[in-house]
Amino acid sequence: MLELNAVQSGYGETQVLHGLTLEAKQGRVLAILGRNGAGKSTTLKTIMGLLPVKSGQIAFDGKPIPARPFDVARTGIAYVPETRDIFPSLSVRENLEIAASRFGAEGADWTMERVLDLFPRLGERLDNGGTQLSGGEQQMLAIARALLMNPRLLILDEPTEGLAPIIVKLIHDKLQELKAEGLSMILVEQNFGFATSLADDVVVVSKGQVVWTGSAEAIKADETAQHTWLGV
Same domain, 158 and 195: yes
Residue (of 89, 68, 77) closest to 155 by Cα position: 77
Instruction: Please compute the mean of the pLDDT values over residues 132-145 and round it to a whole number.
Output: 93
Please list the alpha-helical segments (H only) found in the chain.
Answer: 40-47, 69-74, 92-103, 112-118, 120-124, 135-147, 165-180, 192-198, 216-221, 223-225
Residue 58, in any domain of the structure: no
Inter-residue contact 51 to 9 (CB < 8 Å): yes
Q: How confident is the model at residue 83 (pLDDT cuts 50, 70, 90)?
A: confident
Q: Which residues, 6 or more positions from 87, have their beta carbon under 8 angstroms from its beta carbon?
A: 94, 95, 98, 130
Whether residue 38 is contained in a domain is answered as yes
Share of the chain above pLDDT 90, in %: 84
pLDDT at residue 104, rounded to an integer: 61
Distance between CA atoms of residues 196 and 198, nearest Å: 5
Q: Residue 162: what pLDDT?
A: 87
Mean pLDDT score of the chain: 93
Say which residues have a Cβ less than 8 Å from residue 166's Cβ, sequence separation at least 6. Answer: none
98 and 142 assigned to the same domain: yes
Domain-located, residue 194: yes
Give the largest CA-CA distance in the chain: 50
pLDDT at 103: 75
Let me know whether 156 and 93 are in one domain.
no
Q: Do 120 and 138 have their domain in common? A: yes
Under DSSP, the state recorded for 50 is: S
Domain containing residue 142:
86-150
Q: Which of 109, 124, 150 is the last residue of a domain?
A: 150
pLDDT above 70 for 149: yes
Distance CA 183, CA 124 (A): 26
Per the CB < 8 A criterion, the answer to whether 30 and 55 are in contact is no
Residues 227, 128 share a domain: no
pLDDT of residue 102: 77
- Return the number of other C-beta atoms located less than 10 Å from residue 224's C-beta: 8
Domain count, the chain: 2
Task: State what percent of residues in the chain have pLDDT above 70.
Answer: 98
- pLDDT band, residue 143 (cuts 50/70/90): very high
Report pLDDT digits (tens) over 199-222: 999 999 999 999 999 999 999 999
The larger pLDDT score, comparing residue 85 to residue 102, is at 85
Average pLDDT score over residue span 64-93 = 92
Is-contact 31 199, C-beta < 8 A?
yes
pTM of the model: 0.93
164-213 pLDDT, tens digit each: 999 999 999 999 999 999 999 999 999 999 999 999 999 999 999 999 99
pLDDT of residue 107: 65
